[in-house]
Structure 1
């Protein structure tokens, strides 16, 4: 009987512990709310994204001050959100839906550099635009990493050249593509007709040829 009684107490103890842990885990997984005087890496990410969209032009310092709040409020006003200068769940969701993190921009620059170094600048912007166009398409993954690392999508990932350090030109090409320039004319694919062996890719309707690359729908 004592053994059964101890087992019962032990079960009750585990149940109480689980009850206590549920709100703690839920809180840990919840989006970080940012407001005046917040100071952490999330603030830096916020400033980076707001800068990318043209709302924040001050130093990226990871401190939520007056200029950051003004930028947040302008963003909220433009997207018809509650204009309170606080970055809660809904504001975070909208900001992330309209911008890219530094890691994502770096992935884009790596892809541009690996796939189109030596190509005309316009062609490098077009490669970045193709990746962004795929993200917007229902036929492809909806993230930079999902596009870039999709199996057999980019030869540079397969042969390892994707990890070469991109130059400033590649980053500038990404920036221009993010700002809406699309020399590919809404293409979803690109290839070098001198080396491409796939008859399928050659069957795609072409949009434009820039340098050695053909861009296609």
Structure 2
């Protein structure tokens, strides 16, 4: 009888423990800011719950405007680089220990179990986040472009062609938009600009230089339909080009130091 009572007591303790650990996550307070990040480095192509955590916190600050889907695509990559740039870190689009730590510190009050459905404007303004990420700033060919899309376009034009005449800068912006319209290329601004090997400014980091008003004006003109390249989807500088393939493309015209091609 005593042995039976001992076993019954032990079983009761075990069941009570199970009940404690089975308590639903949804009962956590809304201000709960514990991190569910793992220790692995997140890069473009990564997937998982820690990517969802990353996207949620970036969205909380206003850097990310996409769907929280746990897939580290170009939108997440751009948001990470923007966050790193604003916080004075190495801008490489990789989420290691330093970026994770800064992100967690910048998102006090974030609830990883109830990620935001839209940007939390107050957090974005305090941390330097771009609250315009979720605002449609322009349209092109029936597609809506965000403030970040416009900024990235200006960065690309400035990084690629700041020494070129204005018409040449408009042509560079037009080439990017022509690629978006071409089924052989990604159909988003970040997708085109960050396509591996596509632009020298991305490879050497000049994409992150602050663009001037001339570059922004060139972007606006291209979005309004100006295309001095006459439909080009490639361009190159013949004085520095090392690819034999680019010389095989049908050439359209030369503007400044660049030859524009189909």
Q: TM-score range by the shorter chain?
A: 0.5 to 0.7
* 1:191 and 2:236 are equivalent in the alignment: yes
Q: Map 1:24-173; keep pairs closer than 5 Å.
A: 28-30=115-117, 46=135, 49=137, 52-53=138-139, 98-173=143-218
TM (norm. structure 2) is 0.52
2:172 and 2:218 map into 1 onto residues whose CA distance is 9
1:160 and 1:129 map into 2 onto residues whose CA distance is 21
Contact 2:161 2:169 in 1 (8 A): yes
Q: 1:149 Cα deviation (Å)?
A: 2.3
2:228 and 2:180 map into 1 onto residues whose CA distance is 17
The residue that corresponds to 2:33 in the other structure is none
Change beyond 3 A, Cα 1:186–1:31: farther
Q: Tell me, what secondary structure is at the counterpart of 2:145?
A: coil
* 1:181 and 2:191 are equivalent in the alignment: no
TM (norm. structure 1) is 0.62
Q: 1:3 Cα deviation (Å)?
A: 2.4
Contact 2:132 2:147 in 1 (8 A): no
Gaps (5+ residues) in structure 1?
A: 33-39, 54-94
Q: 1:9 Cα deviation (Å)?
A: 1.7
1:159 and 1:43 map into 2 onto residues whose CA distance is 27
Q: Identify, as 1 or 2, the structure richer in helix.
A: 1
Change beyond 3 A, Cα 1:162–1:11: closer
Residues 29-82 of structure 1: CA distance to partner in whole angstroms, max 9, x if unpaired?
5457xxxxxxx9868953x62xx35xxxxxxxxxxxxxxxxxxxxxxxxxxxxx
Residues 172-199 of structure 1: CA distance to partner in whole angstroms, max 9, x if unpaired?
0000011111222221111012221211
Choose from 7, 11, 15 the match for 1:5: 15
Contact 2:133 2:146 in 1 (8 A): no
Q: Tell me, what secondary structure is at the counterpart of 1:139?
A: coil
2:215 and 2:19 map into 1 onto residues whose CA distance is 63
2:25 and 2:150 map into 1 onto residues whose CA distance is 45
Q: 1:7 Cα deviation (Å)?
A: 3.2
Residues 103-134 of structure 1: CA distance to partner in whole angstroms, max 9, x if unpaired?
22121112111211232222111100111122
Q: 1:16 Cα deviation (Å)?
A: 6.8
Q: 1:28 Cα deviation (Å)?
A: 4.3
Q: Tell me, what secondary structure is at the counterpart of 1:110?
A: helix
1:184 and 1:29 map into 2 onto residues whose CA distance is 42
Gaps (5+ residues) in structure 2?
A: 1-10, 31-110, 120-124
